[in-house]
Structure 1
Amino acid sequence: MLITIGIIIGLLIVAYFAFVNFYPSFGGDVSKERQSQYTDSSQFEEGKFKNDKDVPKDPTFSEILSMTRKFFFTKVEKGRPSEELPNHTVDSLSLVSYHGGTRLMWFGHSAFLLQMNGKNILIDPMLGEVPAPHPLLGAKRFNEELPIAIEKLPKIDAVLISHDHYDHLDYKSIKSLKNKVNQFYVPLGVGVHLEAWGVPQDKIQELDWWQDTSLEDLRFVCTPAQHFSGRKFSNGQSTLWASWVIQSETESIFFSGDSGYANHFKEIGEAYGPFDFAMLECGQYNKLWPDIHMFPEETAQAGIDLKANVIMPIHWGAFKLALHSWTDPIERVAIKANSLGLPMIAPKIGAMIELNSLLANHQEDWWD
């Protein structure tokens, strides 16, 4: 019996390593040579990136088992919507021919198309069905159809990536997009995944926190977040995670990526605020991981810290990645934002978000 159990465990280990090493969605690995390029970063220490606070703590094996059991076997009331969510269909010609003011379109979760100063910018374009390395390892997106198919998107001037988790960096999405993208902007280390998927090095620019770069008349600033990284058990914290500031001469936008609540929001607000618009994570939280995702009340407070004129809750409305109901994030953040006197919008998926009239058309509680 012991020999049989040992053989089964051995086969499972072999199968895991074969899967990880040969299945492309896991991406690349940061080599020792590449790590030497990151030694000047204050976030890089002993071969890994770190937060300013000593979080998150590595869970014990028993804690991992406990979280896994809760996630897969806890019944969550309204964990998923009972029907497809309202979804605006977007015509490709309307995107190609657009020459107006700054606007955004939400794909759900944290994915956006930003049209600004005549440029098309994708932010965390996870446009796949399942946020996992294989379709059998995760639950599908709430909606079967996107507002627009990847193939119908116009030429993309820039892609901004916040970190390498599957619900933000998707192998199939990048493979479909890479030939129509001029430049990828990513935190330190994330370029290894893009390179593994065939994106040329000269199309990738890696940035550390507080570094900035320009795309003609636009400025991108890689700013802090409190999170973590990794696409498999063996490469946790091997790449950096970040938020992004996007600025033109007259407008300023903030995108949080994934982050727990911490002092960096005030620091970013002091350095680059006030912001016309802030997209702030609000979903997939739990008391088991309070340092890496914000609770809705913290999302609203982060908007205050950033000096945001208007906020939009993101990281919800597409996937079930935690144990709260799918409407809990938007219901709670709306109450807190109202109590703080902070303007908030919650547009439907695919609806156009005009920066010069943010509060005009997005006040409907459509999730009800």
Structure 2
Amino acid sequence: MIITIILIGLLIILFLVFTNFYPSFGGNSTKKQQLVYEQSNQFNNGKFRNTSPVPKDLSFTETLSLAYKFFTTKVPNGRPKVDLKAQKIDSINIADYVGQARMIWFGHSSFLLQIEGKNILIDPMFGKVPAPHPLLGENRFNKEFPLEIKKLPQIDAVIYSHDHYDHLDYESVLKIKNKTRHFYTPLGVGNHLQAWGIPDAKITEMDWWQEAKFETLKLVCTPAQHFSGRNINNSQSTLWSSWVITSENENIYFSGDSGYAPHFKEIGEKYGPFDLALLECGQYNQMWSDIHMMPEETAKAGIDVKAKKIMPIHWAGFKLALHDWKDPIMRVKAKADELNIEVIAPQIGQEIMVKDTITTYPNWWKDL
């Protein structure tokens, strides 16, 4: 019994040391910062909130039950049969690009946007595992990227939607921070970046509906219905968002992670129509449908934001739910056909011209 007590004590100490000192957990807001956050309509009683009272606060028993189901349920075809292949793009092609606005998908929700001579990364998650430590999660579906991260050119701006590990990755930040001019985040997320060595002067935190001018571009931090947290003691301590990116000739919407809610119509009315809407479509389940859209809702969201075409994202990257990995793309395409809205589904690394209306994309996932 004494040995058992000692072992349990050591495990508790190791857990506390890990969660308090391991760098990937990031930083926390100070009381002074929280006084500033209180000016936000989304911040109440020390936490950020959705407009609707979601997600539900789970009890300890409910949390354990959900975790047990997730880790013990066998998911047929939950991963591709082989690693997804990325189309390669030459670093010179990226560095010297001066054409019309285009995007390169790195899988999941990560993009390089080249627009008006600027390079912008959106939710750049280049890690193998969406977790605080490589041993705590499954590897991503693609081992290789369209371009080695070290070969990326200077990055003018990085935009983050929220602080979850499949969007904000510690090792990825270390790889890009010295070649990035500026970072844009929802309220509170900048604390993680500061903890990882990025100067406060290079970080702009924004609340919902706030607009920022970045040279010739307009960036708008817009609502989402989701949640946040990187540690057991800091849930809802940072804000989550979607983003509008507008140039003189292009208008792009990036949903981040979100359940289906009225904010899509609000954004469409205020900032639409959009040449391209990048909309979350994956890692869903009826048990958490208030914070992740079902594929049919993704197509509806495309109508709501007044998108000329939509691209499903948040799929083909990681197994974070209990559905077939191809289920998102097949269901959203079926609903989009019904609603008569165009869906594009490029392969990882394939060039996406923002205003293109001609290119067709094969069903590259069909036999995987």
Task: Tell me which of 360, 363, 366 is aligned to 1:365.
Answer: 363
In the alignment, residue 295 of structure 2 is paired with which amino acid? P
Q: Which whole-Å CA distance do the structure 2 matches of 1:6 and 1:64 have between them?
A: 25
1:345–1:359 Cα contact (<8 Å) kept: no
2:101–2:114 Cα contact (<8 Å) kept: yes
Paired residues in the alignment total 366
Q: Which whole-Å CA distance do the structure 2 matches of 1:232 and 1:5 have between them?
A: 27
Q: Which whole-Å CA distance do the structure 1 matches of 2:357 and 2:313 have between them?
A: 15
Q: Which whole-Å CA distance do the structure 2 matches of 1:337 and 1:174 have between them?
A: 35
Alignment of 1:162-177 (within 5 A): 162-177=161-176
Return structure 1 stretches of 4+ with deviation > 6 angstroms: none
Q: Does 1:298 align with 2:308?
A: no
1:209–1:223 Cα contact (<8 Å) kept: yes
My pick for the range that moved more, 29-38 or 120-129, is: 29-38
Alignment of 1:312-323 (within 5 A): 312-323=311-322
Q: Secondary structure at the match of 2:320?
A: coil
2:84–2:143 Cα contact (<8 Å) kept: no
- Match in the other structure for 1:252: 251
Q: Which whole-Å CA distance do the structure 2 matches of 1:6 and 1:232 have between them?
A: 26
In the alignment, residue 350 of structure 1 is paired with which amino acid? G
- Match in the other structure for 1:25: 24
In the alignment, residue 126 of structure 2 is paired with which amino acid? L
My pick for the range that moved more, 309-318 or 61-70, is: 61-70
Q: Which whole-Å CA distance do the structure 1 matches of 2:187 and 2:68 have between them?
A: 33
Alignment of 1:176-187 (within 5 A): 176-187=175-186
Q: Secondary structure at the match of 1:42?
A: coil
- Match in the other structure for 2:117: 118
Alignment of 1:49-128 (within 5 A): 49-128=48-127
Deviation at 1:270, TM superposition (A): 0.5
Per-residue CA deviation, residues 57-93 of structure 1 (Å, 9 max, x unaligned), is 1111111111111111111000000112231011110
My pick for the range that moved more, 65-74 or 18-27, is: 65-74
Q: Does 1:237 align with 2:236?
A: yes
- Match in the other structure for 2:131: 132
Alignment of 1:5-16 (within 5 A): 5-16=4-15
2:246–2:252 Cα contact (<8 Å) kept: yes
Deviation at 1:249, TM superposition (A): 1.6
Unmatched 5+ residue regions in structure 1?
none
Q: Which whole-Å CA distance do the structure 1 matches of 2:151 and 2:360 have between them?
A: 26
Q: Which whole-Å CA distance do the structure 1 matches of 2:29 and 2:323 have between them?
A: 35
- Match in the other structure for 1:281: 280
- Match in the other structure for 2:193: 194
- Match in the other structure for 1:345: 344
Q: Which whole-Å CA distance do the structure 1 matches of 2:82 and 2:357 have between them?
A: 28
Per-residue CA deviation, residues 282-338 of structure 1 (Å, 9 max, x unaligned), is 000011111100000000000000000000000000100000011000000000001
Q: Which whole-Å CA distance do the structure 1 matches of 2:135 and 2:22 have between them?
A: 14
In the alignment, residue 298 of structure 2 is paired with which amino acid? T
In the alignment, residue 317 of structure 1 is paired with which amino acid? A
Q: Which whole-Å CA distance do the structure 2 matches of 1:6 and 1:336 have between them?
A: 56
- Match in the other structure for 1:221: 220
Q: Does 1:335 align with 2:319?
A: no
In the alignment, residue 114 of structure 2 is paired with which amino acid? Q
Q: Secondary structure at the match of 2:286?
A: coil
Q: Secondary structure at the match of 2:105?
A: strand
Evaluate the alpha carbon distance shift between residue 264 and residue 359 of structure 1 in structure 2; reply closer, same or farther with a 3 A threshold. Answer: farther
Q: Which whole-Å CA distance do the structure 1 matches of 2:365 and 2:61 have between them?
A: 37
In the alignment, residue 327 of structure 1 is paired with which amino acid? K
2:87–2:146 Cα contact (<8 Å) kept: yes
Q: Which whole-Å CA distance do the structure 1 matches of 2:225 and 2:276 have between them?
A: 20
1:345–1:358 Cα contact (<8 Å) kept: no
Deviation at 1:175, TM superposition (A): 0.5
Q: Which whole-Å CA distance do the structure 1 matches of 2:22 and 2:282 have between them?
A: 29
* C-alpha RMSD of the superposition: 1.0
Per-residue CA deviation, residues 107-148 of structure 1 (Å, 9 max, x unaligned), is 010000000011000000001111000000000011111111
Evaluate the alpha carbon distance shift between residue 12 and residue 58 of structure 1 in structure 2; reply closer, same or farther with a 3 A threshold. Answer: farther
2:210–2:220 Cα contact (<8 Å) kept: yes
Q: Which whole-Å CA distance do the structure 2 matches of 1:105 and 1:359 have between them?
A: 17
Q: Which whole-Å CA distance do the structure 2 matches of 1:131 and 1:67 have between them?
A: 18
Deviation at 1:5, TM superposition (A): 5.0
Q: Which whole-Å CA distance do the structure 1 matches of 2:355 and 2:42 have between them?
A: 37
My pick for the range that moved more, 4-13 or 177-186, is: 4-13
1:110–1:314 Cα contact (<8 Å) kept: yes
Q: Secondary structure at the match of 1:292?
A: coil
Per-residue CA deviation, residues 176-231 of structure 1 (Å, 9 max, x unaligned), is 10000000000000000000000011000000000010111100000000000000
In the alignment, residue 74 of structure 2 is paired with which amino acid? K
Deviation at 1:8, TM superposition (A): 3.9
Q: Which whole-Å CA distance do the structure 2 matches of 1:314 and 1:358 have between them?
A: 19
Identity between Structure 1 and Structure 2 (%):
61
Q: Which whole-Å CA distance do the structure 1 matches of 2:222 and 2:185 have between them?
A: 11
TM-score (norm: length of structure 1): 0.98
2:285–2:321 Cα contact (<8 Å) kept: yes
